[in-house]
Structure 1
């Protein structure tokens, strides 16, 4: 059992695979060496999510939902998203002394207000994320109602006015795309990055009390998302062999996201040379130091359930050897985020993780750990009166905004469009989701993306992004100008 959350809230846990890497961290678990067999007899699958009450006791009705075919039939990505969504709502109810079985629509309405509009909640979310949370809660309560655990579901439904007569959730946002989307201007991003992650004060000077030990890693990760538009899971699960060289004579270099960690399917992405240099600096400094400490303390010697990479062939198949000497191959595209945690490489310095991002202990960093890093950075900004709040996906939105402006400039320079055509592009600029749908591969406009965009996207992006005449300063100024009238774009005052 691997626990992900602590404190006075419902605890989200994941059943571990039968083989464990390293010694058990819990003395209590060590008393039950047959725990894997016990879980199997109960129908608990490896890597299955489940929740425990704040005091660690099980709630059988909740456990049964996670064991049910309804939950198990969801994709791995949906299971990973739905489990913490349900955990948060149950914790919200527990904080008010309400048993989840007694929850009614008014309790869900209170939750919706707290999640989306309560000014005292610094981690308010947008419409799209809340819609996903509602979907998770609806699936949970629908199953409990079908089973007879609850008589009614708090996720109330109403008849749609459309011809189909379909039902919908009363609290579901009506304009998912346009509500509470947030972007950062380059100036606001740099301010947040320097203060929250880099140890600067609000006035732009170094903070003499700063003792950040992972500055190089955290700054490199932020630059990765800012300059590539990768999702948190995509950027947080990169392995060393997936990144292009920083020595290429281009402003943006092309790489590929593995299918098992992408949303839907693998795809190409572009990352700036500046971000690659940040990553290189991290690899040879902070990361190398963490690896050296782990090797000196014998941490890697204790790992039994790992695979050592021998090579990656031209077909993107990973050839590996286990600790017992067994050899095998697996497609790189088939490695999900948990699989990647178990792969190691041998260098001149010895064994080390294949994953790019490591903890201070030198072990692979689960990608959701970055949410806590960003939360800590936000707390620091708030403490220093820097009114900028950022989460990983906001960097993706901000990348999309900058790329749209870059494309506008590129079209004007290369194609000599007319003033009327320029106004048309500015109309497109009013809906940043268009860029997200095309350049970042969002779920909508599937036919366009599958049939027309992908065959030419590489040519288009290499043509536009690597044009030496692109005026970065002009693009930054233009975004800053737009931020003055667009409330969703967060800017920062000049120092």
Structure 2
């Protein structure tokens, strides 16, 4: 079995050269309302494997995000191949087959997956498939009952990984920006676009946006008055399509403008001819209404108008405008081909950055790097923690001033200036419960451990074993408070 994904632009581009009998593929996609990104499982005869392909069409009709369907597809393909190895398929699978698959993923394979995060998501996908099979009448009984029935049954607290200033600057300038730790330009850097990379991570840090959010930003969304900030509405590219306002300070905008001047213009010039050959599969914008946040132009031969907030990443990727030198992508961060960089491209850039950081970690004064490579999401955690700490300090100072004046705080003021609620809105969390997870990281508890033991070690050179004994003895004596 092979896995493919529907790409309407490719079908339209090559419709004239498709074999006889396949020339109606474009009209078929239109008639069946097949969306881009829908997975299709094909067998050795290059025909859709059922009922798997029908399940993906069902998910597509429900409006599932293409990235979500892609992750589902790889889980289902892996399961189908495992069942085929056991002489089964999804219609004949038994409880024992699925338990064997669980054991394979968690224990037998060379690199077992994480039981709390990866397996629980995978189990939910498999459960969704068998639930649909039973509902559609393909099977009488579903082998799986509940999403956590075969998962770990555990919950995992949010793992917050944040950077201190020195670590962030090392990541931005040395890893992503191609500099040496002493600030000099590294002539061996082969990253290609250091200004683009530095601007991207600065935008991620200073806005708290997720990778899919900041990597798909369009130029009109970052428009501003000279030297001022910018702001736009985020929705379609946000997690779960949750709408929120994004505030962009002047700092990252300055870096974006530097990148646009020094690198982006060159990318646009080199790629104009290539984009011209793809003209009919692109959304060619001829009108930008920044006040209403709308773009108007031609897509697929039809006049279309879109609210930028509601434009998904796939549409943003093919959004261009006609410039003096030809077609130009309206995405901020471009790749060699002149279109928006893909998620896999950004991951490759990050891996190369980590390798550079490891190579320079012992340069001069050693910098403490974590064992695991940095993620772009660590910048979101850093934004949340820094903002939460700063707001908490401001609120404490304000309350102290009010106490000195013996003035009361209204309920509306208390809610409007609640640090957790402000950070929740900035991050786009559905519930403050998620934001509460950051409270545990406002101060590193190991700092208190080091401080507690420092006096012992400084005074008499006590070892940790001796410290433990003295603590235990003191506890028995009732002297520990």
Q: Normalising by structure 1, what TM-score? A: 0.67
* Cα distance, 1:37–1:259 mapped onto 2, change above 3 Å: same
* Cα distance, 1:231–1:323 mapped onto 2, change above 3 Å: same
Residue in 1 aligned with 2:349? 373
CA displacement at 1:292 relative to structure 2? 0.6
Residue in 1 aligned with 2:334? 358
Computing the radius of gyration from Cα coordinates, the structure with the larger value is: 2
SS of the equivalent of 1:352 reads strand
Residue in 1 aligned with 2:169? 190
**Which of 389, 394, 406 is the matching residue for 1:410?**
394
**Which of 223, 247, 256 is the matching residue for 2:232?**
256
* Cα distance, 1:212–1:46 mapped onto 2, change above 3 Å: same
Q: Distance in 1 between matches of 2:429 and 2:45?
A: 38
CA displacement at 1:390 relative to structure 2? 2.5
**Which of 355, 362, 376 is the matching residue for 1:392?**
376
| Alignment of structure 1 residues 127-142 onto 2, 5 Å | 131-142=120-131
CA displacement at 1:208 relative to structure 2? 4.7
SS of the equivalent of 1:248 reads coil
Deviations 1:345-384 (A, max 9, x none): 2344443111112111212334564344334544665677
Residue in 1 aligned with 2:463? none
Q: Distance in 2 between matches of 1:126 and 1:228?
A: 32
**Which of 98, 102, 109 is the matching residue for 1:108?**
102
**Which of 379, 401, 420 is the matching residue for 2:385?**
401
Residue in 1 aligned with 2:67? 80
Whether 1:482 aligns to 2:444 is: yes
Contact 1:126 1:180 in 2 (8 A): no
Contact 1:258 1:333 in 2 (8 A): yes
Q: Distance in 1 between matches of 2:173 and 2:83?
A: 38
* Cα distance, 1:302–1:40 mapped onto 2, change above 3 Å: closer
Structure showing the higher helix proportion among its residues: 2
* Cα distance, 1:254–1:281 mapped onto 2, change above 3 Å: closer
| Alignment of structure 1 residues 22-41 onto 2, 5 Å | 23-24=13-14, 32-39=22-29
**Which of 195, 200, 221 is the matching residue for 1:221?**
200
Residue in 2 aligned with 1:279? 256
Which range moved further: 207-216 or 219-228? 207-216
SS of the equivalent of 1:209 reads coil
Contact 1:183 1:394 in 2 (8 A): yes
CA RMSD of the aligned region, Å? 4.5
Q: Distance in 2 between matches of 1:381 and 1:369?
A: 19
Deviations 1:75-101 (A, max 9, x none): 343x53243144146348859984674
Residue in 2 aligned with 1:243? 222
Q: Which has the higher contact order (CA 8 A, sep 6+)?
A: 1
Residue in 2 aligned with 1:64? 54
Q: Distance in 2 between matches of 1:96 and 1:371?
A: 32
* Cα distance, 1:75–1:39 mapped onto 2, change above 3 Å: closer
Residue in 2 aligned with 1:457? none
Deviations 1:172-206 (A, max 9, x none): 55333x15443333333333344542335789886
Q: Matched residue pairs, number?
A: 410
SS of the equivalent of 2:389 reads helix
Q: Distance in 1 between matches of 2:4 and 2:25?
A: 18
Which structure 2 residue ranges, 5 or more long, are not aligned?
Answer: 362-368, 404-418, 436-440, 449-481
Whether 1:444 aligns to 2:440 is: no
**Which of 5, 23, 43 is the matching residue for 1:13?**
5
Residue in 1 aligned with 2:321? 345
Residue in 2 aligned with 1:429? none
Which structure 1 residue ranges, 5 or more long, are not aligned?
Answer: 1-8, 158-166, 419-431, 450-478, 487-495
CA displacement at 1:213 relative to structure 2? 1.1
CA displacement at 1:308 relative to structure 2? 1.9
Contact 2:178 2:185 in 1 (8 A): yes
Contact 1:185 1:480 in 2 (8 A): no
CA displacement at 1:135 relative to structure 2? 2.8
SS of the equivalent of 1:304 reads helix
* Cα distance, 1:97–1:262 mapped onto 2, change above 3 Å: same
